[in-house]
Amino acid sequence: MVNTYQELNKAGVNDQAAKHKKRELDLRMDCLINADQCTGLMCRRKVFDVCFDNEVADFDHLDCNPECILGCSCCLILQPMVCCDIHHPDHFSIYADEPSVMSHHSCLSKYTKKVPDLVLQDALDDWHEQKTISTYSWSHLNDLGPSLVLPNCMLDRIVNCAHHHKINSIFDLKKETGWMDSDRFGNEIITLIQRHAPPIASPFVTTPLSYPSTGNVPVLATPCPTARTNTPNLKHRNKCGACNNEGHNGKFQVLKFP
């Protein structure tokens, strides 16, 4: 970064010698970028006046038409109402690039690739080779490889996301991979995923019941219910207190019939 006009003027003196030096940022470009920090500049338009002598053209309109006091109206350089972003920053705020907010991709768990995953990977390999040939030519495929269309890291990401069923639309493809050509080739990738991706596992799994064999299962002895003895209900018989015989008492006597 320079601070004086003299250093800025010297930048255009040894251009030929500068070609043989190590490549570095041009001094004039440095001043244009950092004009707000250069003492004596503080304006991006002054960089063009100093480096390219734009101020000399301010009076060309007088030489073009000397008969007119104001000179040639076509060659007259009018002063712009807006100078630069340093003096009029509000006029340039609409051109500022806003960082694009991209949704975070999904966190995928580890898994073991099975036959459908390998089939999808082979289909994607064939696709991005053929797409490189049809889009750029066979020579680009031979020199640069198929990653010119779809990088290998993104291809692996597509296979992993397809295994977990995370890509169902072009928006999902762009979100999960960040592929710049998602809008251009996204429909073809979605078609391959729908054709070769592993099927969605059903949440309801039926498992047949296993019946144990009777030979190996110990038979548990069931306790027998307590045997209830049928004892006749004996009627209480009177007993005589004098003779100790049953059937009568001391006052009444049971007579035996003949």
Do the domain assignments include residue 187?
yes
Strand partners, 246: 239
Please report, rounded to a whole number, the percentage of residues in the chain having pLDDT higher than 90.
35
Residue for token pair 């004996």: 234
Compute CA distances 188 → 17, 144, 159, 178, 191, whole Å. Answer: 53, 22, 14, 16, 5
Do the domain assignments include residue 248?
no
Q: How far is CA 195 from the centre of its chain?
A: 22
Does 84 share its domain with 124?
no
Band of the pLDDT at 28, cuts 50, 70, 90? Answer: confident
Q: Please work out, in degrees rounded to the nearest 5, the angle formed at the alpha carbon of residue 52 by the alpha carbons of 46 and 58.
A: 75
Classify 163 as helix, strand or coil: helix
Compute CA distances 191 → 123, 186, 194, 237, whole Å. Answer: 11, 9, 5, 104
Does 128 share its domain with 180?
yes
Residue for token pair 């480096």: 51
Do the domain assignments include residue 257?
no
pLDDT at 159: 95
For residues 146 and 33, give the distance between their C-alpha atoms in angstroms, rounded to a whole number.
38
pLDDT at 233: 58
Whether the Cβ atoms of residue 54 and residue 73 lie closer than 8 Å to each other: no
Q: What is the pTM of this model?
A: 0.45
Do the domain assignments include residue 218?
no
Count up the domains in the chain and report the number.
2
Q: Which two tokens stand for residue 90?
A: 């509000």
Does 14 share its domain with 87?
yes
Q: Is 90 exceeded by the pLDDT of residue 223?
A: no
**Domain membership of residue 23 as a residue range:** 5-92
Dump pLDDT digits (tens) for 225-244: 555 555 555 566 677 777 77
pLDDT at 15: 54
Does 120 share its domain with 74?
no
Dump pLDDT digits (tens) for 89-106: 998 888 877 766 656 888
Do the domain assignments include residue 97?
no
Whether the Cβ atoms of residue 216 and residue 210 lie closer than 8 Å to each other: no
Last residue of a domain, one of 27, 61, 92: 92
Does 27 share its domain with 82?
yes
Pick 254 or 201 by higher pLDDT: 201
Do the domain assignments include residue 108?
no
For residues 66 and 241, give the distance between their C-alpha atoms in angstroms, rounded to a whole number.
174
pLDDT at 19: 53
Closest among 58, 17, 55, 11 to 32, alpha carbons compared: 11
Last residue of a domain, one of 92, 125, 143: 92
For residues 126 and 102, give the distance between their C-alpha atoms in angstroms, rounded to a whole number.
29
Does 10 share its domain with 88?
yes
